[in-house]
A = this chain, B = another copy of it.
């Protein structure tokens, strides 16, 4: 929403001097209380200011933003992760492309025995290899995938906010959700995936007001 110059000035005054009464704000602006009434009503209804009887107006915007931020950071990866779609290193690029269409996902995770993460294969990797003249049945997916340890991952207990930040920072479409493997804690076992779709769904849920922490 667009604020008028006078409304912005009122916010400045309340930020600096709040809690402050309407009369005092009017005095600061050399206006009457009656002139300010519509502005104060708008600013209060839209949540920039809050009013308490016998106390006056105080600035609510910043606190509200921080509350929202805090709330978003409480959302956990484990509560939003989707089922991972995995293949083995021996699969061909052709099989990977078919699987991607079949499962309708943008990224495949390539695993070894015990669901140990070994690589990530994106639509871009597959598109690049399909442009060449090779026989796609003859090329193993392990040749075109991004390989460990060059893979950005996340953990079930991490916040969804952290996962989304990594997706943006590293410019990837998805993050494998992993945990240390039971047999060898240096290896990572794939237990889920977080994608831009996951984050978009979470955003929609927040906008519907149906997300509950």
Give A contacts to B, CB under 8 Å.
1, 47, 61, 64-69, 71-74, 94, 97, 100-101, 104, 106, 123-124, 126-128, 130-131, 136, 159, 161, 164-165, 167-168, 171, 173, 195-197, 199-204, 206-213
A64-B67, A196-B196 known; 7 other A-B pairs, CB under 8 Å? A47-B71, A65-B211, A68-B209, A72-B207, A101-B124, A123-B124, A127-B130
Residues of B within 8 A of A168 (CB): 197, 200-201, 204
Return the contact of A196 from the options B128, B165, B200, B212 (Cβ within 8 A). Answer: B200
Known pairs A130-B131, A167-B200, A212-B65; A72 contacts B206 (CB<8 A): yes
Contact A209 B66, beta carbon cutoff 8 Å: yes
Residues of B within 8 A of A128 (CB): 101
Residues of B within 8 A of A211 (CB): 65
Residues of B within 8 A of A173 (CB): 106
Return the contact of A206 from the options B68, B130, B136 (Cβ within 8 A). Answer: B68
Residues of B within 8 A of A202 (CB): 203
Known pairs A199-B200, A203-B202, A204-B164; A209 contacts B131 (CB<8 A): no
Contact B200 A164, beta carbon cutoff 8 Å: yes
Contact B130 A161, beta carbon cutoff 8 Å: no
Q: How far is the CB of A164 from chain B (nearest CB, A)?
A: 5
Residues of B within 8 A of A61 (CB): 212
Residues of B within 8 A of A101 (CB): 124, 128
A73 nearest CB neighbor, chain B only: B207
Residues of B within 8 A of A106 (CB): 123, 173
Residues of B within 8 A of A65 (CB): 209-212
Q: In the bound complex, what is the Cα–Cα distance between A73 and B203 (angstroms)?
A: 10
Q: How far is the CB of A90 from chain B (nearest CB, A)?
A: 20
